[in-house]
Structure 1
């Protein structure tokens, strides 16, 4: 499927405005050497560039001898894989992991009720980390991709079988071998991983032809494919592009530039020292944060940290991406001691490209993200300020993107689940002309009429005869109807998610 390496040269960013070219293309174009090294490694392991088998192994002895880490990245002999830190982190005890899995299964099987009443508990559990065995399923529920798929049954298959626009297909094919070339899913040219990646990205260009394809979408889609099938990955990608990061992958990249200004303004509150230094050096935010934000740090952080950040990102929204960026800037440029080696623009940019592994380490980074006091309100307030400044300097935005949703709760409220509670049938049957008496009161007879005892008739005449006219149906009262709806809805939600 993918073309030779020579044909892939210079694909760069799938789109970028002239003024954004160096910022948007350069960080993502560095994969050429990495991809070439991965191809050589694959060839040495029996999975060369011409290997047409699945990237998960074709059954040969050399394929079976490939060593991978727990995340699926190839491990070089005597070294760590790209997905591991050195030294490796302490593993979550198996007993604790099983307990978390049990709790997550209960949440996923009763998702509507948890989202409605216990959203804070979901957030806390996302901060602790979603169990690996349920991560893909949880991401689909958190992002609303599962509901989106249910509302669009068969849509992905329709897009998958369509021809696609040749101008996008060519660019996508060139980018396939650049996405995580050391991961077992994507190491082989034409393997199943690359095929599914092509399908997902092509389907998106057909789903949103006005937006097309942006190179930064490829690593996002690749991470999703590591955790779920192609169709589910496609709808997760749709939710990220439309709900979490709207406008990020549109022409002109205006949304990412605007968020760069928001990040820089928030930095003044978080780390005045770092903010002052970047201002003094006149370093535009897009020079260091474009790849961070557009790829959701999937190409920046150690893999265990990437997964923890994504767990929180799907739950809490873009504020997590802002917090990660602020933490990295604070601990890279936030003290006079750290700035001794960053005297100029070049030295500062080099420092931001080669971040200290200690500040990216999973435990440290996650704790800093959780504790950083930057909320959705801060981001939205700053968004309005920066938008006003943008209009004063550059006029109206050319690409109108929809408003973003700050996390799973907001998305769930906007796109409720498609199923409806089954309406209960009337079950109270009374004779014609009879009325249902109010609760707590007895029917009173007119004066002069005595209430007859039906037991006397039974004793004298046997059982009461059936009415000659058909009975009428009366609707149950409101409280009964409410109780019926509630119980049926509860049972149905449990059945739906099993």
Structure 2
């Protein structure tokens, strides 16, 4: 459980946040920040997720890749959904859920997460807000803690391996902006891995708004002082475990192992520091679609698999032994396809979670009184968030980042081309004479070449700057198409 320091800064959700499985060392000083350490990884293989080492690096020979033709089909389906997102959410939400369970195509994962979370609507309705927060100095109290945490976030990932690199800079910007956006809440250490995962898939501004949605809609109260919400959800998880695995529930009760001891990092970091990376992404696909019930289901699956039979528990008779078992989860239980299948089959719904929430809230009030942190109601997934937040179709419009030609000039060119074809057919003139005949029936229009189109776009103010997105120094948004 997190300790609250004298100055009010939360040092983290649990002691296990330091030296977790992706950390290169238990000592904070041994980070991947220096050039010498970075150069030591120069010849290290980088996996398809960007990891150059550590426990979350994927071994290529252990991954079953999706056939390219299947991946292209899924990408086409997701592009169609994103182009008519409001209609799909209103009428075909079950189809979206099924496609999230299958896994979002990597090329569209960042954009899909933005839409699923409601971050796209927030971004469109708050133009310039992130830039405004980014330009402010920030509270020194939070900035100091954020700065110390930067190098601890996925130090074996190429985006965050270099101290002061672009990944750490963007992470600092996003976390600082959130402390300014919610000064009463400030910063909690478990927010850093959440923001880091988002930055691996989208630009800083988009990552900020998805972080806002996760903190305010999916996991409200998780990162507030006192961590009351996470303690409450720990009791809910333990109560639901009785239904899913009575054996595991009895074992944890026997040795008085409080849920906060093993589930804090799981829930607060949305399993981003616990599971293999392929499994993390699949869990997040479902989590951002269906809500916190996915986090509960993953926790229940792991507890059931690790503690769910008397035979497995013979060697773990005691609190210490049991905790060591839960800290070293068997890799086969966390394997992507196996875990996703198990999670989907867990018979726990958002209705059951809310029902148990009311039971545990009543018990909490009897023991501790009213909650000190008044969090907004939890939203169970993308559909609930969209229905609760008014939006327009323009808020969901996908603005292109690469513009190739002016629609007006292109239409004129096609019109003149069509007229020329008719004249060529009637007069039977050679193709080389078609442009000479054009002057007798229509105003003279120069043929539009790709170079002319780009130049005309530069002169036309609404398209000004489009050419830059075609250059090697494109904006960060282009990276995530």
Shorter-chain TM band: 0.7 to 0.9
Match of 1:230 in 2: 204
Number of residue-to-residue matches in the alignment: 391
Match of 2:261 in 1: 287
Match of 1:205 among 179, 187, 198: 179
TM-score (norm 2): 0.77
Q: Deviations over 1:222-247 (max 9, x none)?
A: 00000000000000000000000000
User: How far 1:337 moved relative to its partner?
Assistant: 1.1
Give distance in 2, aligned partners of 1:152 and 1:14: 35
Q: Deviations over 1:256-294 (max 9, x none)?
A: 000000000000000000000000000000000000000
Would the aligned equivalents of 1:17 and 1:251 in 2 still touch at CA under 8 Å?
A: no
User: How far 1:152 moved relative to its partner?
Assistant: 0.6
Match of 1:143 in 2: 117
Match of 2:134 in 1: 160
Would the aligned equivalents of 1:16 and 1:253 in 2 still touch at CA under 8 Å?
A: no
Structure of larger gyration radius: 1
Match of 1:462 in 2: none
What are the residue-to-residue correspondences of 1:327-476 with 2, within 5 Å?
A: 327-419=301-393
Give distance in 2, aligned partners of 1:23 and 1:286: 13
Give distance in 2, aligned partners of 1:114 and 1:335: 42
What are the residue-to-residue correspondences of 1:30-429 with 2, within 5 Å?
A: 30=19, 31=23, 33=25, 39=32, 43-46=36-39, 65-75=43-53, 82-84=56-58, 88-419=62-393
Q: Deviations over 1:51-77 (max 9, x none)?
A: xxxxxxxxxxx85x55310000004xx
What are the residue-to-residue correspondences of 1:7-18 with 2, within 5 Å?
A: 15=4
Would the aligned equivalents of 1:97 and 1:131 in 2 still touch at CA under 8 Å?
A: yes
Give distance in 2, aligned partners of 1:192 and 1:22: 25
Match of 2:17 among 28, 31, 51: 28
Would the aligned equivalents of 2:55 and 2:276 in 1 still touch at CA under 8 Å?
A: no
Q: Deviations over 1:158-180 (max 9, x none)?
A: 00000100000000000000000
Would the aligned equivalents of 2:232 and 2:360 in 1 still touch at CA under 8 Å?
A: yes
Would the aligned equivalents of 1:244 and 1:317 in 2 still touch at CA under 8 Å?
A: yes
User: How far 1:83 moved relative to its partner?
Assistant: 2.8
Give distance in 1, aligned partners of 2:69 and 2:148: 44
With over 3 angstroms needed to count, the CA separation of the structure-2 counterparts of 1:138 and 1:355, relative to structure 1, is same
With over 3 angstroms needed to count, the CA separation of the structure-2 counterparts of 1:388 and 1:45, relative to structure 1, is closer
What secondary structure, in the 3-state scheme, does the structure 1 residue paired with 2:14 have?
helix
Would the aligned equivalents of 1:73 and 1:183 in 2 still touch at CA under 8 Å?
A: yes
User: How far 1:41 moved relative to its partner?
Assistant: 8.8
Give distance in 1, aligned partners of 2:264 and 2:38: 35
TM-score (norm 1): 0.75
Would the aligned equivalents of 2:220 and 2:378 in 1 still touch at CA under 8 Å?
A: yes
User: How far 1:32 moved relative to its partner?
Assistant: 7.2
What secondary structure, in the 3-state scheme, does the structure 2 residue paired with 1:252 have?
coil
Give distance in 2, aligned partners of 1:143 and 1:335: 37
Give distance in 1, aligned partners of 2:132 and 2:70: 43
With over 3 angstroms needed to count, the CA separation of the structure-2 counterparts of 1:203 and 1:420, relative to structure 1, is closer
Give distance in 1, aligned partners of 2:325 and 2:175: 33
With over 3 angstroms needed to count, the CA separation of the structure-2 counterparts of 1:259 and 1:121, relative to structure 1, is same
Give distance in 1, aligned partners of 2:162 and 2:275: 24
User: How far 1:15 moved relative to its partner?
Assistant: 4.9
With over 3 angstroms needed to count, the CA separation of the structure-2 counterparts of 1:244 and 1:223, relative to structure 1, is same
With over 3 angstroms needed to count, the CA separation of the structure-2 counterparts of 1:15 and 1:223, relative to structure 1, is farther
Gaps of 5+ in 2: 396-480
Give distance in 2, aligned partners of 1:153 and 1:72: 31
Give distance in 1, aligned partners of 2:11 and 2:184: 24
Would the aligned equivalents of 1:139 and 1:311 in 2 still touch at CA under 8 Å?
A: yes
Give distance in 2, aligned partners of 1:317 and 1:122: 13
What secondary structure, in the 3-state scheme, does the structure 1 residue paired with 2:13 have?
helix
Q: CA RMSD in A?
A: 2.4
Would the aligned equivalents of 2:81 and 2:88 in 1 still touch at CA under 8 Å?
A: yes
Gaps of 5+ in 1: 1-11, 48-61, 422-497
Would the aligned equivalents of 1:14 and 1:215 in 2 still touch at CA under 8 Å?
A: no
Give distance in 1, aligned partners of 2:176 and 2:95: 37
Q: Deviations over 1:101-121 (max 9, x none)?
A: 010010011111111110000
